[in-house]
Every structure is written in C-alpha cells, then in structure tokens.
Amino acid sequence: MMDDNGTVVKRTHFDYPLIIVTAILVMIGVVMVYSSSAVLAMERTGDGYFYLKKEIVFALVGFIMLFVAAKVPYHWLKKMVYPILGFAMLMLVLSFIPGLKSSAGGASRWVRLGPVTFQPSEFAKFALVIFLAYSLEKKASRIKSFGIGFVSNAAVALVLIMMVVVQKDLGAAFMLATITALMMFVAGVRISYLVAMAVSSLPALYFLVAHVAYRRRRILAFLNPWSDRYGTGFQIIQSLVSFNEGGIFGRGLGEGQQKLFYLPEAHTDFIFSVLGEELGLIGVTLVIVLFAIFFWRAISIGLKAPDLFSRYLAFGLAIFIGVQALFNFCVVMGLLPTKGLVLPFISYGGSALTTFLIAAGVLLNISTYKCAKSE
C-alpha cells in the first residue's frame, strides 16, 4: 500500500516482544491484585475474590480492545482525532455532575454510569497523545513558530490540564503536562518556548500546593515523612517498610504483611510496594526491566514508523506508559510526592487497564507498517 507521500509501505507482523511483555505485565498485575486485595475484599464485600474477578474481566475486555486497536489501521485515528478529544473532555465534564460523579478523598475523579465506574483522566492522556501527534504532524513545516508550533498545541493541553486540576487530580495534570512537553520537544518545538512554559507554570504550581492544605501536607510528608508518621507520612513510611521487608528474595507471594490494612491503596497506587515485599528486589527488578523493554520497543516502533503522525503517536504512547510507570516507581519509593498515579498494566482499575491496553494495541498496529523504497 502507499502512504500520503507516495512512499511504499509494507504490512509486516506485529512486534512480538511488545505484545509478550504487555501480556506478562498484565498477568503479574492480575496475580498481584489478588495478593494485595484478598483480605481487603473479604473485609469489605465478604468475597476475597471480588477484586480479582473484576480485574480478570477488565483484562479480558482490555485485550479484546487491544486486538481491535491492533487491527484497525492507525490512520483511522487521524480522522477521529476531534471526536476522541471531544469525548475525553465530555467525560471530564461528567465527573462534575451530581448523580454521575463519584468522589473519594475529596476529589471528583470518577464517573459512574450504572454499575460501571471509570476515571476519565486516563483516557484524557490517551486522547491528548492522539491530538498532539495529529497536530504536530500537520504543523511540522511551522513547528518553530511560536503561535502555530507552540501556542496552538499548548492551549489544547492546558484546557485538559485545567479540567483535571479542578478535579483535584494534580498527578494527572502533571502527566498531561509532561506528555505535552516531551512530545513537542520530540517534534522540534523550540526549547526556549518549553523552558518558558515550565518557568511560567511555577507560580501556578506553587499556588496549587502552598494554598491547598492537603497538598502542602503531602509535600512536607515527602520531605520528612517521619514528622507525621501516623498522618500524611504514614503511607510512604509503610511503602518503604514493604520494600525493606522484602529484601532480595521477598517474603513469598501472598505472604506480605503491609497489605493487611497497614498500607493504604495497596491494590491500586501502591501495588508495587506489595510486589516489593512479596517478591523482593528480584521481583522489583524484573518489573522495571519489563517496562524498560516495553518503552524500548515502543520507541523502536516510532523510529521505524512510515510517517510523522505514526512516529509522534508511538513516541507519545511510549511517554504515556513509560513515564507514568517511572513516576509510580518514584512515588512508592519515596523519590517523589504522592500523586495518585497507577502503575500501568499492574494496578487495579478497569478504565486505566483498558486504556493502557488500547494504547499497546495502537503501538502494535503501527509496528505492522514500515517504509520501503519504491521500485
């Protein structure tokens, strides 16, 4: 087949290392969700398999969507970029509507439609990657321009960022900003513009942290968690205890103690801590290596992509998944303040898991195309 520029593009097989690594990460996630949630599920619902059964359903649905995304040509996303972006914004708006929104910890980050609850911010990150890939390709010839190359892209990202900030989801806002900055950097936007954007955002970031009590306490707990060891510092201290107790080889699968109501969010944001306690340094290293392989394969797919859109799309999805995993690692190890970011493919949650698997499917789709010289 031919691309828009007349270059011959041949369809090849899927990138097998990527799909193998993805499957392994999801399987690890399913096992760890059960291990970290069985006692909690029994306490809350009377069924120790409650979260496991839901996670298996999420994984099955996610893999179906992965294979659909892997089969539908990625060019379709260019035609659907604005409907996808509009749907993401609509879902964020719904999270503020009484009767539809579902709140926890003072934050309105979820939408409840009947028995289904999902987190719109995860899909918003995916939608932003698609939009930026489309927009950066479209404006490639004027990418150095302040208005066309920088402002027009940053403005759309800013709208999404503001919407999730109002949701009190600063972690998602930080991820959206990171995706935007890195994708524009890859596309060739002037570094001076990106630096100016980062510097100009500091006052807003300071206000969002210093003038919001719970965020200010989080930063203080990050700097010295033992100053409030039974309050805001409790979670990170218990996370560090988990890694310490795991040692090199771990306590053994299912034998962790911190998940027994010591470590909050053990099956979601801090599931990596449970893994560290039960599987030790060996398990932690294995998961980090698997994510490194995923990121490497995603970047390789982008480098071999047949056009700018697919190249930027692959790089953006690599950033979306790889950087979020890195941030989660840093948070649970006490290297960053707590942000409420799940670990891709492993943390419990249907909206996140299905979104990450769709993203992996798009990467697999791009991997089946390559350029070849015209005869």
**Residue indicated by tokens 């205890």:** 241
Task: Decide if 74 is inside a domain.
Answer: yes
- Where in the sequence is the domain holding 116, given as residue range(s)? 8-372
Reported as a pLDDT band with limits 50, 70 and 90, residue 8 is low
Q: What is the pLDDT of residue 244?
A: 92
Beta bridge partners of 202: none
Q: Does 44 or 128 have the greater pLDDT score?
A: 128
Reported as a pLDDT band with limits 50, 70 and 90, residue 362 is very high
* pLDDT at 129 exceeding the cut of 70: yes
Mean pLDDT of the 156-164 span: 94
Task: Decide if 56 is inside a domain.
Answer: yes
256: enclosing H helix or E strand: none
Task: Decide if 31 is inside a domain.
Answer: yes
Task: Decide if 1 is inside a domain.
Answer: no
Distance, in Å, from the CA atom of 321 to the CA atom of 95, rounded to the nearest integer, reads 23
Percentage above 90 pLDDT, the chain: 63
- 262-288 pLDDT per residue, tens: 888 889 889 999 999 999 999 999 999
- 82-115 pLDDT per residue, tens: 999 999 999 888 887 876 766 555 556 777 776 6
* Residues with Cβ within 8 Å of residue 196, at least 6 apart in sequence: none
The alpha-helical segments, DSSP class H, found in 304-369 are 308-332, 350-367
Q: Which of 112, 26, 59, 74 is nearest to 305 (CA)?
A: 74
End-to-end CA distance of the chain: 13
- Total tally of structural domains belonging to the chain: 1
Task: Decide if 303 is inside a domain.
Answer: yes
The alpha-helical segments, DSSP class H, found in 46-141 are 50-71, 75-79, 81-94, 120-138
Task: Decide if 133 is inside a domain.
Answer: yes
Q: Which of 332, 259, 237 is nearest to 35 (CA)?
A: 259
Mean pLDDT of the 193-217 span: 86
Beta bridge partners of 113: 116
**Residue indicated by tokens 């828009």:** 4
Reported as a pLDDT band with limits 50, 70 and 90, residue 374 is very low
pTM value is: 0.92
Task: Decide if 150 is inside a domain.
Answer: yes
Q: Is the dihedral of CA 57, 60, 61, 63 positive or negative?
A: positive
Q: Does 49 or 229 have the greater pLDDT score?
A: 49
Task: Decide if 240 is inside a domain.
Answer: yes
